Structure formats: structure tokens, C-alpha cells
Structure 1
Amino acid sequence: MGFTQPPIGSDDVFNARRWKRILGNYSTPIRLRSLAELAITALPLAMLWTAAWFTFSIGYAWASLLIAFPAAGFLLRLFMIQHDCGHGTFFAGRLANDWVGRVIGVLTLTPYDYWRRTHAIHHATTGNIDRRGIGDVDTLTVREYRALSWWGRLKYRLYRHPLIMFGVGPAYLFLLQQRIPVGLMRNGWQPWASTMATNLAIAVVVAALTWFIGIKAFLLVHLPITLLAATAGVWLFYVQHQFEHTTWDRDEGWNLHHAALYGSSHYELPALLRWFTANIGIHHVHHLSSRIPYYRLPHVLRDHPELRDFGHITLLESFRCVRLVLWDEAQRRLVSFREIRARDCWARGTDKEDKAAA
């Protein structure tokens, strides 16, 4: 699964810096295409939300819940547009990117300016073991995990458990954590202003909708849509960097372009899911050149098919990534708790044999 990365400094023909230069040719957004992408995402979301409320109001709560699934897909896609705005790639002008991103942020519960900063840090430090902490899924090395107390190990195992990571985690992240500028609280007033302005706008929208349809209808219609979209978003972010043969390096040996190409996955999804996720599965190309609009990412693979094999994982293969929780610096790959436990048991058995022989 995936494409095993060569060591930094290799003369491999797939040179990451060379790809960075080539991909610059795809970085120009197409204004009409961007407007069309926004329309075909926002309008169906509004229609599906209205349909979910209407079916709930006439007593068909089960139908409302079914409608929540496609509605969540469009909300997720809207988040991807916000993501491109944050990179300054959805429109040519910064003003259009920023204000479209801020408005979308009210719907996705994601403060745009705050998120843009943390995501920029993620791009600037991805794959760097010594600069973990912002915009990443918390990942310990095998050595760090072994050095923890039993309580520390338990907390990490709970954090990495699928029910927490993809169940409680998305709800906590989008409903609670993003209400304050976590990670940037000492960076001046701007993260606070962005977050509080988004919170105020969210409060106004929620108040208006609850006044119009009632608190019960709002919660039972909107919460399923939001939570489904949040879970899908967290899953995508997880798979994009948490696959077996990703790459992590210490600061002195880390290279941005190498980490982008070999530390990000090419998550090949079925066509419909690829559309709803706005081609974010072509993540290695996105990290190599974050200025490429999402609708131009498939053109890169079409013109340069040799990029398809880097970090390649399928939908079925991606489910096995959940068990990969620790970075093994010796083997340069992610490993599972079970593998580390088996290794430790083997080492203890070997020690006992050595002592008995002595």
C-alpha cells in the first residue's frame, strides 16, 4: 500500500523540487468555473436542507435523516471551497477569496482567518517530527509512547481509538474547539477577532432559524448534517497523512518538497466521492503546489500519470490506516499498537532466554 519513499538526497527521477516547478503551470483559477462550482454546491445544499426540514415538519423524521447524508456531502464540498479560498486559489483576488471563505465559515462552523493560519502552519511543517502540534493529528513516535506513564499511554490510546477519533472528535472539533482560537491564543487580536466574528454570525443564523422553525426542528435537521460532514472531513484529513509509508523526519533532515510528495497520500476514491470531496484525495499534488484550484488537480494526473503511484491508497485500503498509530523511526513507517506489543513481548522473551542461558 503506497509508494515507499527514498531517503532525502536520492537522485530519484521523481524529484520533488522539479515537480513543484512543473505544477506552477496549473495554479491559475478560472473565474467562471469557480463561480459555477460555488453555485452547484451551495444551491443544492440549501435545497436539501429545506427538504430535510419539510419532511421533518410533516412527521417523516426518518426521511429527514436520509436527506442528511447527501446534504452533508454538499456541506463537506462547501468546506473544500473554503479550503481553496484559504490557500488563495479559488479566485484570483485575495478579497474575493477571503470574503467567500468567511461567509462559508459560518456554515461550516470554521472561523476562516483562524483556520487559514493553522492550515498554513500544517502545510509548512507537515512531516516534521520536531514541529508537530498545530493542524495535525497528534502522532507519537514509538520511543515517545514507550516513555509515557500508564496514564499517558491510556490517554493516547483513547485519543487514537476510532470511536473517539471519528465519533466524539469531529463533534468536539467543529462544535466546541473552533469556538476559540486554539493554538493561536497568544498571536494577537486577529485570531480572536476572526473567531468571535464567526461565532457571532453563527449565533445570529441559529437564532433566526430556531425562531422560524423551532429549536427541536433545527437541532434534529441541522445537527445530523453537520456531524456527518464533520466526520467525513476528519476522516479525509486523517487518511491524507496517516498511511503506512508516509514520511516523517527530524528538523535537520526534513525537506518541505520531499515531505509533500512522499508524506501525503493519493487517496483514489470512486468518482462520486471524488466529486463530493473536491479532489482533495490528490493530496500529494496539493501539498506540492497548494496554489492549484481543486478542479484542476485531475488535470495534473492526466498530464503526468507518473504521479499516480505516490502514496496511492484505495478506499478499501484506507480502512486499514486506522490501526496505524505510532511512527517507528527505525523502520520509517507507521505501526500499530499490536505490532509494538508483539515486539515488546518478543524482546522480553529474548531477555529471559538470555538470562536463563547465563
Structure 2
Amino acid sequence: MQSNTVLNQTDPTDSSTCTAELPFTLQDLKAAIPASCFEPSAWKSLTYFFLDIAIIGGLYATAHFLDSWWFLPIFWVMQGTMFWALFVVGHDCGHGSFSKLKWLNNLIGHLSHIPILVPYHGWRISHRTHHANTGNLDTDESWYPIGQAQYEQMPWYEKLFRFYLPLLAYPLYLFRRSPGKQGSHFLPNSPLFRPSEKQDVLTSSVLWGLMIVCLGWLTYEFGWLFLLKYYLAPYTVFVIWLDLVTFLHHTEPDIPWYRGKDWYFLKGALSTIDRDYGWFNAIHHDIGTHVAHHIFLNMPHYHLRTATAAIQPILGDYYRKSDEPIWRSFVRSYWACHFVPDQGSGVYYQPYPKQ
């Protein structure tokens, strides 16, 4: 079943195609992009951050002023979406594409992530691992496929969150990572982190804990219903957004996955797909422009569209983009993408049971 995508025009089941060397290099792509695209503007980045904060504050003020249950579902969707937009700002900080100042990246990263219960440094480091190993079946960090044998041996509760409730999986991932991997985003001695990174991880974990204490105090002062109305419900919408976007950019029947020496960075970076979220594109800072982001992870989000237009002629059929409705892409991948063959490289997702 094909999606409405720009894909390789060859047979997607022919592994000889996707295991071949790419006809272009990373330097070829970089040379095609205006040099200004690689330059972050601290002021421009801060504008996006403060705009998101202002909208979040305005939504809270509106919800408090109206104090009406009819408005709450609208508020939950809007505020959860803005939580997701704020996460994307912190995401740029984690990549160093927010500014050239490390201290500013870390400051805004924490201010963006801690209020939505993301341990900034812990997530930043694991996300770095994901970007360095995208498309690698052996070493990728998140939303990677598992082999058929592992799938069939997985306990029911792991299958439940990984394959049947994928849009609620993120909080569990922070504590337990993905199936088959050990460690937590909160513990400095986790195998996720280098010894030199322990202090950073501890800092973010302590700040995350203080946010939990703050939420506990609000609950004590105003009650569980207050917490549900003004935080837990929008937070759930945020989690759904986060899982939906990351799922869709890395879970597609036509995206190849590699093993062993057949994988290298650029080939793996192309094992993702651009998505069109309609008018949400501007709200969540063009996170749908994902292929260029994976190739040049330190590029500010506001330059990704320009970079994509510049490299698309070089990428040709190696560039993947879907213009179909997001819900349709999700439903197709939800049912079709469960595991990959246990052997071989340049392999594709398969459904279970096999059709």
C-alpha cells in the first residue's frame, strides 16, 4: 500500500536499491544551501520563544476568565498544541540551533522543557543519539523497528504502548526508553550518558523534580480538578502531539532501515519523511520539514524550508514527502508497521499478521 508520497520510483521491496551507495555526498548538499541558513539568530529564536510563552499565558488568562466547561475542551487542544510548540523551541536549543551561545541554549531549553515535564539534558542527549544513528536498526534510539522474532516474544504490556497506544508512550519512554534498551533519562548513571554528562543530567532531573513539587503544591492548594483542568489535560494533548509527530516521521511502510556496515549517516538521515500539517506548520515551527533537519541538525527551524528547496533537486527520488492527511498516514502506518525481517539490510516494516 503506497502513500501519497514522493518516493523512490523503484520497487520498494528491492533491497539492492536502498543498499547501494548514494549518488551524492553530504558536502554536495551543504554546498547547495545558502550559507545564511546555517546561521542562527538569537533574537529571532527568542522571538519565537516569547511569542509561544505569550500565547500560553493568554490562553490561561482566557480559560480563567471564562471559567466554563464548554470552553475547556477547546482550551485543552489549543494549550496542549502550544506546549508542543514550546517543546520544539527547546528541541532547537538541544541541537544548538537556537543560538551560538551554549548558556543561552541551556537556559531557554530548560525554560521550555521543564514546565512540560521534559528533562532537558536527559532528552537532549538521547535525542542526539537518535540523530547520530537514524535508520540504523542496531543503534537508533527512538521509533525504530524491531525484528519479527523480538516482536513475537515481547510481553503484552510492551506491545500495548509501542504498537497499540503509541500516542501515549512518551512519558514511559522517559523512564524506560524503547523496547530492548535499558536506562532512564533521569538517572546520571544510565547507559544513555557519558561520565562527563552526569552533572548536566542531574541538573535537569532536579529541576524536573521541582516542577513535580510545584504541581503537587498547586494540587494541594486548589485541588485535583484544578490540576486536571489547567495542566493534566493540556499535557496529555502535548504528549499526543509529540508521539504523533515522531511516529509519523519515522514510521512509514516505504522507509528503508539498515544494518551493520551498510548504514552510514547520510543514508540513515534520508530514512525519514516530510509531512504537511497544514496551518499547524507555523504553530509548531515547521517541525514537519524533517528530512533537511535530519541531514543538518544544527540548522535553525526557520531556515529548513529554504534548505529543503535547495537540496531537493539533488536528492531527487531519495527525498520523501507526504501530502496526504495526517490522520490517514497515521492509520496506515499504525496497522502496517510492526516489525522488520530479522536478517538483511535495506528492509521495510511489515504488518502482523503478515498480509
Q: TM-score range by the shorter chain?
A: 0.7 to 0.9
Measure, in 1, the Cα distance between the counterparts of 2:230 and 2:255.
38
Q: Measured at CA, do residues 175 and 314 of structure 1 come closer, stay the same or move farther in structure 2, by a change above 3 Å?
A: farther
Counterpart check, 1:103 vs 2:111: yes
CA contact (8 A) 1:185 1:191 kept: no
Equivalent in the alignment of 1:349: none
Q: CA deviation at 1:282?
A: 1.2
Instruction: Give the TM-score of the pair, scaled to structure 2.
Output: 0.81
Q: Tell me the SS of whatever aligns to 1:334.
A: coil
Counterpart mapping for 1:178-197 below 5 A: 180-181=186-187, 183-184=190-191, 187-188=194-195, 189-190=198-199, 192-197=201-206
CA contact (8 A) 1:68 1:224 kept: yes
Q: Tell me the SS of whatever aligns to 2:89.
A: helix
Counterpart mapping for 1:329-348 below 5 A: 332-338=347-353, 340=354, 342=355
Which sections of structure 2, spanning at least 5 residues, go unmatched?
A: 178-183
Counterpart check, 1:230 vs 2:239: yes
Q: CA deviation at 1:23?
A: 4.5
Equivalent in the alignment of 1:260: 269
Counterpart check, 1:141 vs 2:164: no
Equivalent in the alignment of 1:282: 289
Equivalent in the alignment of 1:348: none
- Choose between structure 1 and 2: higher helix proportion: 1
Q: CA deviation at 1:284?
A: 1.0
Q: CA deviation at 1:11?
A: 5.5
Counterpart check, 1:46 vs 2:54: no
Counterpart check, 1:71 vs 2:84: no
Equivalent in the alignment of 2:160: 158
Equivalent in the alignment of 1:292: 299
Amino acid in the other structure paired with 1:18: D
Q: CA deviation at 1:173?
A: 4.6
CA contact (8 A) 2:272 2:320 kept: yes
- The farther-off stretch of 24-33 and 91-100 is 24-33
CA contact (8 A) 1:326 1:336 kept: yes
CA contact (8 A) 2:136 2:258 kept: yes
Equivalent in the alignment of 2:28: 18
Q: Measured at CA, do residues 194 and 210 of structure 1 come closer, stay the same or move farther in structure 2, by a change above 3 Å?
A: same
Q: CA deviation at 1:226?
A: 0.5
Summarize deviations over 1:193-213 as a string: whole Å, max 9, x none: 134322233035325544664
Give 1:198's match in structure 2, choosing from 199, 203, 207. Answer: 207
Q: CA deviation at 1:99?
A: 0.8
Counting matched residue pairs gives 326
Q: Tell me the SS of whatever aligns to 2:86.
A: helix
CA-based RMSD: 2.9
Q: Measured at CA, do residues 321 and 127 of structure 1 come closer, stay the same or move farther in structure 2, by a change above 3 Å?
A: same
CA contact (8 A) 2:33 2:311 kept: no
Q: Tell me the SS of whatever aligns to 1:244.
A: coil
Equivalent in the alignment of 1:327: 340
Q: Tell me the SS of whatever aligns to 2:299.
A: coil
Counterpart check, 1:81 vs 2:94: no
Q: Tell me the SS of whatever aligns to 1:62.
A: coil
Measure, in 2, the Cα distance between the counterparts of 1:176 and 1:204.
22
Q: Measured at CA, do residues 236 and 98 of structure 1 come closer, stay the same or move farther in structure 2, by a change above 3 Å?
A: same
Q: CA deviation at 1:187?
A: 4.6
Q: Measured at CA, do residues 247 and 217 of structure 1 come closer, stay the same or move farther in structure 2, by a change above 3 Å?
A: same
